[in-house]
Amino acid sequence: MSDLHQLSVKALADLLKSGQVSAVEVATRFLARTGGNPHNAFLDIDSEVTLAQARASDAKLADGTAGPLEGVPVAHKDVFVTRDFATTAGSKILSGYRSPFDATVVQRLRTAGMVTLGKLNCDEFAMGSANENSAYGPVQNPWDTSRVPGGSSGGSAAVVAAGLAPAATGTDTGGSIRQPASFCGITGIKPTYGRASRYGMIAYASSLDQAGPMARSAEDCALLLSAMCGPDLDRDSTSLDMPAEDFTASLNRPIEGLRIGVPLEWWGNGVQCAWFPDMPARRSEGVQVEVQIAIENALKEFEKLGAKLVPISLPRTELSIPVYYIIAPAEASSNLSRFDGVKFGHRAKDYTDLVDMYKKTRAEGFGNEVKRRIMTGAYVLSHGYYDAYYLQAQKIRRMIADDFQRAFTECDVIAGPVAPSVAWKFGENAGDPVADYLADIFTLPASLAGLPAMSVPAGFGAQGMPVGLQLIGNYFKEAQLLNAAHRLQQATDFHLRQPEGI
């Protein structure tokens, strides 16, 4: 069997269950592919640990106690703490750090039988849109190694696209699952805020952070999401008290009559919207034409499947950028205060007293983007500025969430681009953090509202780079999103395409 690395999670799980292949064989095949760390995607690999887990899975497969995903490999974004692998969150300040416990998401996937391949590169503390903010070097996009993979879960998207893992975990605070999935041509879903436990997920902006799966297809994402979610009330106070759900159960439902909302504010660029000719030419000048065409084609596919397109309005879309870039840094400035050289990771060597130790440790340990956000966060929370920035942002955040609720009275699912462009070249936005911030425009609104949202491969844009369609659902409607995405994937093959040579 020479193509194990090209198989889906579902196919691998079935082969393992039927005994046609062993967990050790699968793990060995994937470990062999990680040699030389292609695309700089991994931050830690330990074949002994992986093979020990695979042997344990084989024992379970043999004695009939196997979990639903027994023996299928997965790799974790380095934001999830793990006992058996180092955890750095892409930061120098946590270099060599080893957690005494596993994050709930890691533990749940292991309970479902998944074998851990290692830890994945990401932007430092998940702050970024291109993986260029990792202290351990950027990840390359497998479709074009001169381009970014997206961020912050860039390693997660790259390993799936490059056949280095059939699936990976990611975290999404403002788009970090959806945007790299879009840039690397894979599928990823961020569930409703509170669905997946944040316990052991290194906090960036706690009111926004969510974990989710990244894989080739909606079906694979549904399998992982079913295993990841569920209440963790004692350990995460924002965990939802909702039973775990089987998100694969409704994948094949027809989507006849599904009302798909197309936000007017997300259309533009002089391209006449095919469905709503009266729509005035609006914003979104920054959206690449090829991206719009790919999204338009995906919407046409949905129509063929019986869905109905309806115009909706998300009038505060633009405001989501300043609102997010106030709230997220504010929370980060508080969350990252724990990295002071006392309890975790790096401690500066030469210092005169405690305060000097704090200062030197943080100056040495944090990268520029993290420092920028800590300073921004401290500023917007400080006396005299709190009302003007943080409080104002919180009020607009509520309005953005209300806009979605209004929209969901007219439609079931919202569709649009994940990002205004395909993956850009390394260095293109270097030195201009605001350029990266602006590119988050379509992912931030759902994050601020806490809604489930996903990225689904929808074709190819400029220079043959992948384009992702974003689907946003109302609270707890992950099953509906995955159902729509799965139906689209049965009618198209974009999610099956791979970079050359994989």
Beta carbon nearer to ligand GLN, 173 or 217: 173
Residue of this chain nearest to ligand GLN (CB atom): 176
DSSP letter assigned to residue 337 = G
Nearer to ligand GLN (CB atom), residue 212 or residue 499: 212
**128/191 with CB nearer ligand GLN:** 128
176 near ligand GLN, rule: CB under 6 A: yes
Identify the DSSP state of 218: H
Compute CA distances 40 → 33, 140, 348, whole Å. 13, 7, 27
Q: Pick from 215, 328, 357, 414: which binds ligand GLN (CB under 6 A)?
A: 328
Instruction: Please tell me which residue in 129, 176, 197, 217 is annotated as part of the active site.
Output: 176
Q: Which of 152, 333, 447, 455 is catalytic?
A: 152
264 secondary structure, DSSP code = G
Name the active-site residue from 22, 57, 77, 182.
77
- Which residue in 38, 174, 212, 416 binds ligand GLN (CB under 6 A)? 174
Is 129 a binding residue for ligand GLN by CB under 6 A? The answer is yes
**Structure tokens given for 248:** 């694969």
User: Total residues contacting ligand GLN (rule CB under 6 A)?
Assistant: 13
Q: How far is the CB of 493 from ligand GLN (least distance, A)?
A: 28
91 touching ligand GLN, by CB under 6 A:
no
Q: Which residue has the tokens 């957690």?
A: 99
172 binds ligand GLN (CB under 6 A): yes
Residue 271 or 435: the one with the smaller Cβ distance to ligand GLN is 435
140, 173, 470, 489: residue in contact with ligand GLN (rule CB under 6 A): 173
Tokens 């750095």 sit on residue: 88
Choice between 260 and 323, CB closer to ligand GLN: 323
Give the separation between CA 319 and CA 317, rounded to whole angstroms. Answer: 5
Measured from the CB of residue 55, what is the shortest distance to ligand GLN in angstroms? 35
Q: Which two tokens stand for residue 327?
A: 């709230």
**128 lies in the binding site for ligand GLN (CB under 6 A):** yes
CA separation, residue 473 to residues 192, 267, 418, 454 (Å): 9, 19, 14, 9
* 77 catalytic per annotation: yes
Give me the residue label for tokens 């292949």. Answer: 21
Residue 201 or 299: the one with the smaller Cβ distance to ligand GLN is 201
Are the C-beta atoms of residues 210 and 491 closer than 8 Å to each other? Answer: no
Considering the rule CB under 6 A, would residue 418 count as an interface residue with ligand GLN?
no
330 binds ligand GLN (CB under 6 A): no
Binding positions for ligand GLN, 194-223, rule CB under 6 A: 204
Position among 22, 152, 156, 284 found at the interface with ligand GLN (CB under 6 A) = 152
Euclidean distance between CA atoms 327 and 315, whole angstroms: 20
| C-beta atoms surrounding 391 within 10 Å | 13
CB of 209 to ligand GLN, least distance (A): 7
Q: Is 311 exposed, middle or buried (0-12, 13-18, 19+ CB in 10 A)?
A: middle
146 noted as active-site residue: no
176 is catalytic: yes
Q: Closest approach of Cβ 327 to ligand GLN, in Å?
A: 11
CA end-to-end span of the chain:
15
Stretch near ligand GLN under the rule CB under 6 A, chosen from 51-59, 70-78, 174-182, 294-302 = 174-182
Q: What values do phi and psi take at 444, rounded to 5?
A: -65, -40
User: CA 126: distance to chain centroid?
Assistant: 10
Cα distance between residue 120 and residue 381, in whole Å: 32
CB of 172 to ligand GLN, least distance (A): 5
Does residue 411 interact with ligand GLN by CB under 6 A? no
Q: Does 180 bind ligand GLN (CB under 6 A)?
A: no
**Nearer Cβ to ligand GLN (154/499):** 154
Q: Which amino acid is at 450?
A: G
Closest by CA position to 206, among listed 121, 79, 387, 346: 79
Kindly state the helix (H) or strand (E) to which residue 413 belongs, with its residue range.
strand 413-417
In the complex, minimum distance from the CB of residue 129 to ligand GLN, in angstroms, rounded to a whole number: 4
Cis peptide before 152 (omega within 30 of 0): yes
Q: Is 175 in the site for ligand GLN (CB under 6 A)?
A: yes
Q: How far apart are CA 190 and CA 482, in angstroms?
A: 11
Residue owning tokens 């039927």: 18
Catalytic annotation, residues: 77, 152, 176
Q: Which parts of this chain interact with ligand GLN (CB under 6 A)?
A: 126-129, 152, 172-176, 204, 328, 440
